Amino acid sequence: MIAVTVIVVILTLIAGYCVALYNGLIRVRNEVKLAWSNIDVLLVQRHDELPKLVDVCKRYMQHEQQTLEQVIQARSAVDTARTANNVSGVSAAEDSLRSGLARLYAVAENYPNLKANEMFTTLQSRISALETAIADRREIYNDAVNSLNVRVETFPDVVVAGMFGFVPAHPLKFTAEQTADVDISAAFAK
């Protein structure tokens, strides 16, 4: 009788421990999803702001169509990768968008009326603020991804993770060039 009770207690403890591990994995997986959703919200906001900036610039920059088109194409590439939840695709598209915006802001320097336009300066400030917020959220996302990946790859969580199909997530990576300050003088040279 005592042996059966001990076995039942041990099995109950093991089951409780597995439930706790599973719930912990669910928590960190949801943190990754939440962090990505926070980035996604900012990407959508920036996605909505960029056409307004391009429209304002079009009024002044009749001869700078190539720069404007690059920003539009990069915006589309970011949106395509974002809606497909393609984290690595977002990274690549962000590089192109960042480059296009740098050139756009540099070209704007040649148009004093544009630089003085309140709509342009407001949009430029809002987009810059969104860029900063995206960088902050990217860090939070990568921390959440790291927490999930550590849990999914370490014992004993790896056993429960394997049983329930938890997989490592991919961090949002940018090269040193992508995260460096924009060199406006280089953008003028293009």
pLDDT per position as a tens digit, 146-163: 999 999 999 999 999 999
Q: For position 118, which CATH number holds?
A: 1.20.1440.20
pLDDT of residue 13: 94
* Cα angle, residue 47 at apex, residues 178 and 117 outer, rounded to 5°: 90
User: Which residue's structure tokens are 């690595």?
Assistant: 88
Range of the domain at 36: 2-189
pLDDT per position as a tens digit, 27-52: 999 999 999 999 988 888 888 888 88
pLDDT of residue 185: 44
**Whole-model pTM?**
0.68
27/16 Cα distance (integer angstroms): 16
pLDDT of residue 95: 81
Tokens of 26: 């669910």
pLDDT of residue 177: 56
pLDDT of residue 66: 76
Helices (H), the chain: 2-60, 65-83, 87-108, 112-116, 118-153, 157-164, 176-179, 184-189
pLDDT of residue 113: 74
Q: At what angle do helices 2-60 and 118-153 cross, to 10 degrees?
A: 160
What does the pLDDT profile of the chain (190 residues) look like in tens digits? 888 999 999 999 999 999 999 999 999 999 999 999 999 888 888 888 888 888 878 776 766 777 788 888 888 888 898 888 888 788 888 888 888 888 888 878 777 777 777 888 888 888 888 888 988 898 999 999 999 999 999 999 999 999 999 999 988 876 555 454 444 444 434 4
Number of structural domains the chain divides into: 1
